[in-house]
Structure 1
Amino acid sequence: MKVLLALMMAATSGFALATETAEAADAQSQPALEHYSYSSKLDIARVIDQTPIPAVCAVVPRQMTYEDHQGHRHTVEYLVMGNGCTP
Protein backbone atom coordinates (compact mmCIF):
# COMPACT_ATOMS: atom_id res chain seq x y z
CA MET A 1 0.00 0.00 0.00
CA LYS A 2 2.83 2.40 0.84
CA VAL A 3 4.53 1.60 -2.47
CA LEU A 4 1.33 2.39 -4.39
CA LEU A 5 0.94 5.68 -2.51
CA ALA A 6 4.57 6.59 -3.20
CA LEU A 7 4.13 5.84 -6.93
CA MET A 8 0.99 7.96 -7.11
CA MET A 9 2.74 10.87 -5.39
CA ALA A 10 5.73 10.59 -7.74
CA ALA A 11 3.49 10.57 -10.81
CA THR A 12 1.55 13.60 -9.56
CA SER A 13 4.68 15.59 -8.74
CA GLY A 14 6.12 14.82 -12.19
CA PHE A 15 2.95 16.16 -13.82
CA ALA A 16 3.10 19.30 -11.68
CA LEU A 17 6.74 19.84 -12.63
CA ALA A 18 5.93 19.47 -16.33
CA THR A 19 3.08 21.99 -15.99
CA GLU A 20 5.34 24.51 -14.22
CA THR A 21 8.00 24.08 -16.91
CA ALA A 22 5.46 24.73 -19.69
CA GLU A 23 4.16 27.83 -17.89
CA ALA A 24 7.70 29.14 -17.47
CA ALA A 25 8.38 28.64 -21.18
CA ASP A 26 5.18 30.58 -22.04
CA ALA A 27 6.21 33.42 -19.73
CA GLN A 28 9.60 33.63 -21.41
CA SER A 29 8.09 33.69 -24.92
CA GLN A 30 5.79 36.61 -24.04
CA PRO A 31 7.61 39.90 -24.59
CA ALA A 32 7.65 42.50 -21.82
CA LEU A 33 5.07 45.26 -22.15
CA GLU A 34 6.59 48.54 -23.33
CA HIS A 35 4.74 51.86 -23.03
CA TYR A 36 4.81 54.02 -26.15
CA SER A 37 5.83 57.67 -26.06
CA TYR A 38 6.37 60.08 -28.93
CA SER A 39 10.13 59.71 -28.55
CA SER A 40 9.94 55.92 -28.95
CA LYS A 41 11.68 54.53 -32.01
CA LEU A 42 9.76 51.48 -33.25
CA ASP A 43 11.36 48.98 -35.63
CA ILE A 44 8.26 47.23 -36.97
CA ALA A 45 8.82 44.57 -39.61
CA ARG A 46 5.56 42.68 -39.08
CA VAL A 47 2.49 43.26 -36.89
CA ILE A 48 1.50 40.03 -35.15
CA ASP A 49 -1.52 41.04 -33.06
CA GLN A 50 -3.50 44.07 -31.89
CA THR A 51 -6.14 44.32 -29.20
CA PRO A 52 -9.54 45.53 -30.42
CA ILE A 53 -10.64 49.13 -29.89
CA PRO A 54 -13.71 49.13 -27.61
CA ALA A 55 -16.95 50.93 -28.48
CA VAL A 56 -16.63 53.65 -25.82
CA CYS A 57 -16.27 57.41 -26.16
CA ALA A 58 -13.02 57.74 -24.24
CA VAL A 59 -9.28 57.39 -24.60
CA VAL A 60 -8.37 53.73 -24.01
CA PRO A 61 -5.14 51.70 -23.99
CA ARG A 62 -4.43 49.39 -26.92
CA GLN A 63 -1.66 46.83 -27.26
CA MET A 64 0.20 45.78 -30.37
CA THR A 65 2.59 42.84 -30.64
CA TYR A 66 5.08 43.11 -33.45
CA GLU A 67 8.29 41.60 -34.75
CA ASP A 68 11.30 43.79 -35.48
CA HIS A 69 13.74 43.35 -38.37
CA GLN A 70 15.96 41.10 -36.23
CA GLY A 71 13.08 38.72 -35.48
CA HIS A 72 12.53 39.81 -31.85
CA ARG A 73 8.97 40.21 -30.59
CA HIS A 74 7.81 43.31 -28.75
CA THR A 75 4.50 44.35 -27.20
CA VAL A 76 3.82 48.06 -26.99
CA GLU A 77 0.88 49.76 -25.28
CA TYR A 78 -0.41 53.08 -26.55
CA LEU A 79 -3.54 55.23 -26.22
CA VAL A 80 -6.29 55.51 -28.84
CA MET A 81 -9.73 57.07 -28.97
CA GLY A 82 -12.53 54.53 -28.61
CA ASN A 83 -14.97 53.78 -31.44
CA GLY A 84 -18.11 54.72 -29.48
CA CYS A 85 -18.26 58.48 -30.15
CA THR A 86 -21.12 59.66 -32.36
CA PRO A 87 -21.53 63.30 -33.48
Structure 2
Amino acid sequence: MKASLLVLALCGFSAVAMAEESGAKVAAQQARAEQYTYGSHPDIAKVVSVSDIPNICAVVPMRMTYLDSQGKQHVMAYQVMGNGCSNG
Protein backbone atom coordinates (compact mmCIF):
# COMPACT_ATOMS: atom_id res chain seq x y z
CA MET A 1 0.00 0.00 0.00
CA LYS A 2 2.78 2.44 0.92
CA ALA A 3 4.64 1.58 -2.29
CA SER A 4 1.60 2.34 -4.46
CA LEU A 5 1.07 5.66 -2.66
CA LEU A 6 4.72 6.53 -3.23
CA VAL A 7 4.42 5.69 -6.96
CA LEU A 8 1.23 7.74 -7.21
CA ALA A 9 2.88 10.71 -5.50
CA LEU A 10 5.93 10.52 -7.78
CA CYS A 11 3.72 10.37 -10.89
CA GLY A 12 1.82 13.45 -9.74
CA PHE A 13 5.03 15.32 -9.02
CA SER A 14 6.52 14.45 -12.43
CA ALA A 15 3.35 15.66 -14.20
CA VAL A 16 3.53 19.00 -12.38
CA ALA A 17 7.24 19.32 -13.16
CA MET A 18 6.64 18.64 -16.85
CA ALA A 19 3.84 21.24 -16.97
CA GLU A 20 6.06 23.85 -15.33
CA GLU A 21 8.89 23.08 -17.79
CA SER A 22 6.52 23.45 -20.75
CA GLY A 23 5.25 26.78 -19.41
CA ALA A 24 8.82 27.99 -18.93
CA LYS A 25 9.64 27.16 -22.57
CA VAL A 26 6.63 29.15 -23.80
CA ALA A 27 7.55 32.11 -21.60
CA ALA A 28 11.15 32.01 -22.80
CA GLN A 29 10.03 31.92 -26.42
CA GLN A 30 7.74 34.91 -25.90
CA ALA A 31 10.52 36.85 -24.19
CA ARG A 32 12.85 36.24 -27.15
CA ALA A 33 10.56 37.83 -29.74
CA GLU A 34 12.46 39.98 -32.23
CA GLN A 35 10.90 43.40 -32.73
CA TYR A 36 10.30 44.17 -36.41
CA THR A 37 11.57 47.54 -37.59
CA TYR A 38 10.90 49.23 -40.91
CA GLY A 39 13.61 48.38 -43.38
CA SER A 40 14.69 45.11 -41.75
CA HIS A 41 14.90 42.09 -44.02
CA PRO A 42 14.18 38.97 -41.95
CA ASP A 43 15.12 35.57 -43.41
CA ILE A 44 11.64 33.99 -43.53
CA ALA A 45 11.55 30.62 -45.27
CA LYS A 46 8.27 29.36 -43.77
CA VAL A 47 5.61 30.96 -41.57
CA VAL A 48 4.58 28.59 -38.77
CA SER A 49 1.87 30.70 -37.11
CA VAL A 50 0.51 34.23 -36.85
CA SER A 51 -1.55 35.58 -33.96
CA ASP A 52 -5.17 36.54 -34.66
CA ILE A 53 -6.01 40.19 -35.36
CA PRO A 54 -8.62 41.32 -32.81
CA ASN A 55 -11.85 42.97 -33.94
CA ILE A 56 -11.11 46.43 -32.46
CA CYS A 57 -10.28 49.77 -34.05
CA ALA A 58 -6.77 50.37 -32.69
CA VAL A 59 -3.16 49.44 -33.30
CA VAL A 60 -2.58 46.00 -31.79
CA PRO A 61 0.52 43.88 -31.13
CA MET A 62 1.02 40.77 -33.28
CA ARG A 63 3.40 37.81 -33.20
CA MET A 64 4.59 35.69 -36.07
CA THR A 65 6.49 32.44 -35.60
CA TYR A 66 8.61 31.46 -38.59
CA LEU A 67 11.50 29.30 -39.73
CA ASP A 68 14.54 30.85 -41.39
CA SER A 69 16.43 29.31 -44.33
CA GLN A 70 18.55 27.30 -41.87
CA GLY A 71 15.45 25.81 -40.18
CA LYS A 72 15.85 27.82 -36.98
CA GLN A 73 12.60 29.05 -35.36
CA HIS A 74 12.09 32.75 -34.63
CA VAL A 75 9.28 34.85 -33.16
CA MET A 76 8.77 38.35 -34.53
CA ALA A 77 6.71 41.02 -32.78
CA TYR A 78 5.10 43.80 -34.81
CA GLN A 79 1.99 45.98 -34.82
CA VAL A 80 -1.02 46.16 -37.14
CA MET A 81 -4.33 47.99 -37.25
CA GLY A 82 -7.18 45.95 -35.77
CA ASN A 83 -10.08 44.70 -37.90
CA GLY A 84 -12.78 46.67 -36.07
CA CYS A 85 -12.62 49.94 -38.01
CA SER A 86 -15.39 50.93 -40.44
CA ASN A 87 -15.03 53.20 -43.43
CA GLY A 88 -18.27 55.05 -42.85
- Residue by residue over 1:13-44, the C-alpha shift from the partner in whole angstroms, topping out at 9 and shown as x without a partner, is 2332244236525727x733222223544110
The one-letter code of the counterpart of 1:11 is: L
Q: What TM-score, normalized to structure 1?
A: 0.73
Q: CA deviation at 1:66?
A: 0.4
Task: Using the TM superposition, name which of 55-64 and 7-16 deviates more.
Answer: 7-16
Instruction: For residue 13 of structure 2, give the secondary structure of its aligned residue in structure 1.
Output: helix
Q: Which has the larger radius of gyration?
A: 1
Q: CA deviation at 1:77?
A: 1.1
Distance in 1 of aligned mates of 2:83 and 2:22: 36
Distance in 2 of aligned mates of 1:51 and 1:17: 31
Instruction: For residue 8 of structure 2, give the secondary structure of its aligned residue in structure 1.
Output: helix
What residue in structure 1 maps to residue 14 of structure 2?
17
What residue in structure 2 maps to residue 69 of structure 1?
69
Over the matched positions of the two proteins, sequence identity in percent amounts to 40
Aligned residues: 83
Runs of 4+ in structure 1 deviating by more than 4 angstroms, as ranges, are none
Distance in 2 of aligned mates of 1:40 and 1:12: 51
Instruction: For residue 47 of structure 2, give the secondary structure of its aligned residue in structure 1.
Output: strand
Distance in 2 of aligned mates of 1:43 and 1:7: 53
